[in-house]
Protein backbone atom coordinates (compact mmCIF):
# COMPACT_ATOMS: atom_id res chain seq x y z
CA UNK A 1 0.00 0.00 0.00
CA UNK A 2 1.41 3.41 -0.90
CA UNK A 3 1.67 6.16 1.68
CA UNK A 4 -0.68 9.11 1.77
CA UNK A 5 0.57 12.08 -0.23
CA UNK A 6 1.09 15.42 1.50
CA UNK A 7 0.48 18.85 0.04
CA UNK A 8 1.35 22.26 1.41
CA UNK A 9 -0.38 25.30 -0.05
CA UNK A 10 1.58 28.52 0.49
CA UNK A 11 -0.70 31.42 -0.31
CA UNK A 12 -1.04 35.17 -0.39
CA UNK A 13 -4.84 35.05 -0.56
CA UNK A 14 -6.57 33.23 2.29
CA UNK A 15 -9.68 32.27 0.34
CA UNK A 16 -7.69 30.59 -2.40
CA UNK A 17 -5.12 28.91 -0.17
CA UNK A 18 -7.54 27.59 2.42
CA UNK A 19 -9.97 26.60 -0.33
CA UNK A 20 -7.35 24.57 -2.20
CA UNK A 21 -6.28 22.80 1.00
CA UNK A 22 -9.91 22.03 1.88
CA UNK A 23 -10.66 20.71 -1.59
CA UNK A 24 -7.60 18.46 -1.50
CA UNK A 25 -8.53 17.21 1.98
CA UNK A 26 -12.02 16.52 0.67
CA UNK A 27 -10.62 14.01 -1.83
CA UNK A 28 -8.44 12.31 0.77
CA UNK A 29 -5.14 14.17 0.39
CA UNK A 30 -3.34 15.27 3.55
CA UNK A 31 -3.18 19.01 2.90
CA UNK A 32 -2.33 22.11 4.86
CA UNK A 33 -2.08 25.80 4.11
CA UNK A 34 0.09 28.64 5.36
CA UNK A 35 0.27 32.33 4.47
CA UNK A 36 3.34 33.32 2.50
CA UNK A 37 3.91 36.19 4.94
CA UNK A 38 4.26 33.71 7.84
CA UNK A 39 7.92 32.76 7.37
CA UNK A 40 8.07 30.83 10.65
CA UNK A 41 4.94 28.80 9.87
CA UNK A 42 6.05 28.16 6.30
CA UNK A 43 9.46 27.05 7.53
CA UNK A 44 7.93 24.57 9.99
CA UNK A 45 5.62 23.15 7.34
CA UNK A 46 8.38 22.89 4.71
CA UNK A 47 10.67 21.01 7.13
CA UNK A 48 8.09 18.19 7.01
CA UNK A 49 9.04 17.83 3.31
CA UNK A 50 5.59 17.71 1.72
CA UNK A 51 5.37 15.75 -1.52
CA UNK A 52 3.87 18.74 -3.32
CA UNK A 53 4.01 22.46 -2.60
CA UNK A 54 1.41 24.65 -4.30
CA UNK A 55 2.61 28.25 -4.27
CA UNK A 56 0.29 31.20 -4.75
CA UNK A 57 2.82 33.93 -4.10
CA UNK A 58 5.54 35.88 -5.83
CA UNK A 59 7.37 36.63 -2.55
CA UNK A 60 11.03 35.91 -3.35
CA UNK A 61 11.94 35.15 0.27
CA UNK A 62 9.13 32.63 0.55
CA UNK A 63 10.08 30.94 -2.72
CA UNK A 64 13.69 30.72 -1.53
CA UNK A 65 12.46 28.98 1.65
CA UNK A 66 10.71 26.37 -0.45
CA UNK A 67 13.90 25.61 -2.39
CA UNK A 68 16.08 25.65 0.72
CA UNK A 69 13.95 23.73 3.23
CA UNK A 70 12.14 21.23 1.02
CA UNK A 71 14.24 20.74 -2.11
CA UNK A 72 12.71 17.34 -2.93
CA UNK A 73 9.12 18.63 -3.04
CA UNK A 74 7.47 19.04 -6.40
CA UNK A 75 6.30 22.65 -6.81
CA UNK A 76 3.23 23.88 -8.66
CA UNK A 77 3.03 27.66 -9.11
CA UNK A 78 -0.52 29.01 -9.35
CA UNK A 79 0.40 32.64 -8.69
CA UNK A 80 -0.48 33.77 -12.23
CA UNK A 81 -4.07 32.68 -11.64
CA UNK A 82 -4.69 35.41 -9.07
CA UNK A 83 -4.58 39.15 -9.43
CA UNK A 84 -6.55 42.33 -9.70
CA UNK A 85 -9.23 42.15 -12.34
CA UNK A 86 -9.35 39.16 -14.66
CA UNK A 87 -6.37 36.82 -14.30
CA UNK A 88 -4.49 35.97 -17.45
CA UNK A 89 -4.63 32.25 -16.62
CA UNK A 90 -7.50 30.39 -14.99
CA UNK A 91 -6.55 28.13 -12.10
CA UNK A 92 -6.87 24.55 -13.26
CA UNK A 93 -7.24 22.21 -10.31
CA UNK A 94 -6.42 19.26 -12.54
CA UNK A 95 -2.82 20.52 -12.83
CA UNK A 96 -2.44 19.99 -9.08
CA UNK A 97 -4.02 16.53 -9.31
CA UNK A 98 -1.76 15.62 -12.24
CA UNK A 99 1.32 16.68 -10.25
CA UNK A 100 0.19 14.43 -7.38
CA UNK A 101 -0.42 11.52 -9.73
CA UNK A 102 3.03 11.91 -11.30
CA UNK A 103 4.90 11.65 -7.99
CA UNK A 104 7.10 8.57 -7.69
CA UNK A 105 6.35 5.76 -5.28
Which residue numbers in the chain have pLDDT < 50?
A: 1
Percent of the chain residues past pLDDT 90, beyond the cut: 65
- Domain residue extents for the chain: 6-101
Distance CA 39, CA 36 (A): 7
pLDDT at 66: 95
Topology annotation, domain 6-101: Rossmann fold (3.40.50)
pLDDT at 86: 53
pLDDT at 80: 73
pTM comes to 0.88
pLDDT at 1: 41
Helix (H, G, I), strand (E, B) or coil at 8: strand
Q: In terms of residues, how long is the chain?
A: 105
Amino acid sequence: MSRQRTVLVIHSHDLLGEGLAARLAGIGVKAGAVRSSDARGAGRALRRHPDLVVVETTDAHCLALVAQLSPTSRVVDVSESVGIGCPSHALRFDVILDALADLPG
